[in-house]
């Protein structure tokens, strides 16, 4: 004979899956690196409450199987606990989807429901547990918890539909429907299992809400990273030495050539404005806009360094690309390539390729050898940022070819189908 009866073994097998799922969810939520702490604490509280309800309900079924009149107080407390905690779980779900001081009002019906079911110890208004048989009998107010839960679920549905848009409202709304189906299925079921349909659907709601929250916070994290990268790009483009040197040039020209000083000041203001605008530009921009920004920068530098010349041959401009793509490469060509040449030459060429669009930026500057290439790409302004944004935003690539004392050629390729992305 086994130590565990077949009936008890069947109950434990039924209980095992939701308990393990809830324990796994607690661990996953606790170590989730993306979820904010306040939301994480609420979600962990929900999961622990649902776990306590499932275990408490299982313990109640075990007491019914081997009933003793001495168990009356414990059975009454177990039943009251389940009715009291189910509305609490729904309110905590509200706390997840709605960050508003008004959500505290939902604790009023929860408190009234708790006070009502605590009367079961001395009144039969909600339910009574027969002392002799251990049978459950519903009182005249026995469906109070169902009414409270239904009202809270309707509120949760309304909040989900008004606070979120598109697919973001799908999981909260679906969870409300799933949670409402549990009691309905229990009411149509003639047998009482170890784990009720209400508890099973609540476990699924916890799982779905965790998935939804995780995806929400991952998306916020990615957006924050993109915003941080844009700030880094801008900082890399507006170097202190460039600001200082340009302002010094303007100061000198104010005394020697005020008209020219005014022209450079206007170009410098345009350059700064375009760089700042690029921070808020998450989409691809027309090539012509990027070229205009590059020319403004180049004109400022050519005023300071008359030995620098820039020419461009535009055969193709009907495509889009990430902001601050060409300008950083031209800046690298000036700073690290042609500034010290007697005649520094930079050429910008665009053309249609077989499978996309090509932009070529070449110079006759110092260049670098193959051995120096990795270090040059790390130290030159914005090279890695440009490469990463090309790949991420439009599937583009960037190829750098350089020969020491002969110059550098950068070729950007943007695939067809992205020119109107």
Last residue of a domain, one of 221, 249, 283: 221
Q: Is residue 228 part of a domain?
A: no
CA-based nearest residue to 195, from 3, 20, 2, 5 = 20
**Domain extent for 380:** 238-415
pLDDT of 6 reads: 55
Quote the CA–CA distance of 246 and 265 in Å, as a whole number. 9
Q: Are residues 202 and 315 in the same domain?
A: no
Q: Are residues 186 and 269 in the same domain?
A: no
pLDDT of 269 reads: 87
| Predicted confidence (pLDDT) at residue 175 exceeds the cutoff of 90 | no
In the sheet with 397-403, reading across from the earlier edge strand, the strands are 308-314, 344-353, 356-363, 407-415, 397-403
pLDDT of 91 reads: 93
Q: Are residues 176 and 287 in the same domain?
A: no
* DSSP-assigned beta bridge partners for residue 305: none
Lowest mean pLDDT segment, chosen from 178-182, 283-287, 326-330, 417-421: 417-421
pLDDT of 287 reads: 92
Residue 373 pLDDT class (50, 70, 90 cuts): low
Quote the CA–CA distance of 311 and 176 in Å, as a whole number. 63
pLDDT of 109 reads: 95
Q: Is residue 229 part of a domain?
A: no
* DSSP-assigned beta bridge partners for residue 411: 360, 399
Q: Which two tokens stand for residue 211?
A: 């998935």
Q: Is residue 145 part of a domain?
A: yes
pLDDT of 15 reads: 66
Q: Are residues 258 and 214 in the same domain?
A: no
Q: Running DSSP on this structure, what letter comes out for residue 309?
A: E
Q: Are residues 203 and 308 in the same domain?
A: no
Mean pLDDT of 100-122: 94
Max CA-CA distance within the chain?
108
Q: Are residues 160 and 289 in the same domain?
A: no
Q: Are residues 244 and 159 in the same domain?
A: no
Q: pLDDT, tens digit, for every residue of 13-22?
A: 566 777 888 8
Return the SS3 of 115. Answer: helix
Last residue of a domain, one of 159, 189, 221: 221
Put simply, whether the predicted model's pTM sits higher than 0.85 gets the answer no
CA-based nearest residue to 42, from 82, 99, 111, 81 = 99
Q: Are residues 299 and 342 in the same domain?
A: yes
Quote the CA–CA distance of 88 and 108 in Å, as a whole number. 11
Quote the CA–CA distance of 60 and 134 in Å, as a whole number. 10
Q: Are residues 334 and 380 in the same domain?
A: yes
- State residue 142 phi and psi, 5-degree precision: -65, -20
Residue 207 pLDDT class (50, 70, 90 cuts): confident
Q: Are residues 268 and 209 in the same domain?
A: no
Q: What is the CATH number of the domain that holds 347?
A: 3.30.565.10
Residue 411 pLDDT class (50, 70, 90 cuts): very high
Residue recorded with tokens 């808020």: 280
Residue 221 pLDDT class (50, 70, 90 cuts): confident
Number of domains within the chain: 2
- Within 13 Å, how many C-alpha atoms sit on residue 263's CB side? 12
Return the SS3 of 342. Answer: coil
Q: Is residue 146 part of a domain?
A: yes
- State residue 403 phi and psi, 5-degree precision: -135, 130
Q: pLDDT, tens digit, for every residue of 338-367?
A: 888 889 999 999 999 878 999 999 999 888
Q: Is residue 231 part of a domain?
A: no
Count Cβ neighbours within 10 Å for each residue of 344-376 and write b for 16 or more, e otherwise: bbbbbbbeeeeebbbbebbbbbbbbeeeeeeeb
pLDDT of 189 reads: 65
Q: Are residues 215 and 289 in the same domain?
A: no
pLDDT of 239 reads: 58
- State residue 238 phi and psi, 5-degree precision: -100, 75
| Predicted confidence (pLDDT) at residue 105 exceeds the cutoff of 60 | yes
- State residue 360 phi and psi, 5-degree precision: -115, 125
Last residue of a domain, one of 221, 247, 269: 221
Q: Is residue 226 part of a domain?
A: no
CA distances from 85 to 109, 136, 232 (A): 12, 19, 49
Q: Bigger pLDDT: 150 or 222?
A: 150
Residue 378 pLDDT class (50, 70, 90 cuts): low
pLDDT of 368 reads: 78
Q: pLDDT, tens digit, for every residue of 52-99?
A: 988 888 787 777 777 888 889 999 999 999 999 999 999 998 998 888
What average pLDDT does the chain have?
Answer: 82
Q: Is residue 1 part of a domain?
A: no
Quote the CA–CA distance of 180 and 127 in Å, as a whole number. 22
Where helices occur in 67-169 by DSSP H, the ranges are 72-97, 107-118, 144-163
Q: Is residue 184 part of a domain?
A: yes
| Predicted confidence (pLDDT) at residue 131 exceeds the cutoff of 70 | yes
pLDDT of 174 reads: 81
Q: Are residues 48 and 181 in the same domain?
A: yes
């Amino acid at each position: 004979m086994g130590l565990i009866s077949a009936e008890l073994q069947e109950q434990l097998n039924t209980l095992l899956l939701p308990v393990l799922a809830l324990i796994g969810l607690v661990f996953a939520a606790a170590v989730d690196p993306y979820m904010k702490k306040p939301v994480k604490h609420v979600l962990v509280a929900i999961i622990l409450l649902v776990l306590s309800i499932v275990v408490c309900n299982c313990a109640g079924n075990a007491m019914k199987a081997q009933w003793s009149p001495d168990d009356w107080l414990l059975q009454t407390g177990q039943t009251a606990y389940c009715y009291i905690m189910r509305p609490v779980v729904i309110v905590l779900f509200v706390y997840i989807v709605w960050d508003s001081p008004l959500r505290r009002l939902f604790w009023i019906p929860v408190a009234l429901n708790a006070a009502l079911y605590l009367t079961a110890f001395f009144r039969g208004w909600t339910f009574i547990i027969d002392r002799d048989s251990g049978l459950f009998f519903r009182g005249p107010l026995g469906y109070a918890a169902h009414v409270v839960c239904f009202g809270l679920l309707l509120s949760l549905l309304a909040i989900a539909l008004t606070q979120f848009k598109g697919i973001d409202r799908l999981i909260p709304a679906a969870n409300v429907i799933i949670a409402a189906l549990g009691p309905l299925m229990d009411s149509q079921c003639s047998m009482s299992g170890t784990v009720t349909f209400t508890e099973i659907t609540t476990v699924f709601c916890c799982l779905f809400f965790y998935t939804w929250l995780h995806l929400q916070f991952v998306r916020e994290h990615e957006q924050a990273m993109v915003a941080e990268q844009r700030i880094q790009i801008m900082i890399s483009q507006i170097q202190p030495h460039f600001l200082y040197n340009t302002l010094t040039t303007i100061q000198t020209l104010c005394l020697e050539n005020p008209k020219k000083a005014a022209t450079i000041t206007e170009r410098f203001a345009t350059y700064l404005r375009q760089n700042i605008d690029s921070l808020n530009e998450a989409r691809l921009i027309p090539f012509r806009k990027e070229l205009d920004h590059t020319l403004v920068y180049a004109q400022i530098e050519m005023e300071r360094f008359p030995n620098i010349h820039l020419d461009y041959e535009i055969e193709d401009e009907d495509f889009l690309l990430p902001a601050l793509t060409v300008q950083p490469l031209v800046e690298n060509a000036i700073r690290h390539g042609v500034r010290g040449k007697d005649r520094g030459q930079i050429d910008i060429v665009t053309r249609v390729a077989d499978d996309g669009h090509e932009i070529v930026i070449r110079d006759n500057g110092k260049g670098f050898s193959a051995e120096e290439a990795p270090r040059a790409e790390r130290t030159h302004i914005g090279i890695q940022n440009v490469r990463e944004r090309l790949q991420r935003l439009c599937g583009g690539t960037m190829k750098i070819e350089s020969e020491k004392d002969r110059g550098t050629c950068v070729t950007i390729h943007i695939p067809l189908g992205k020119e109107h992305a």
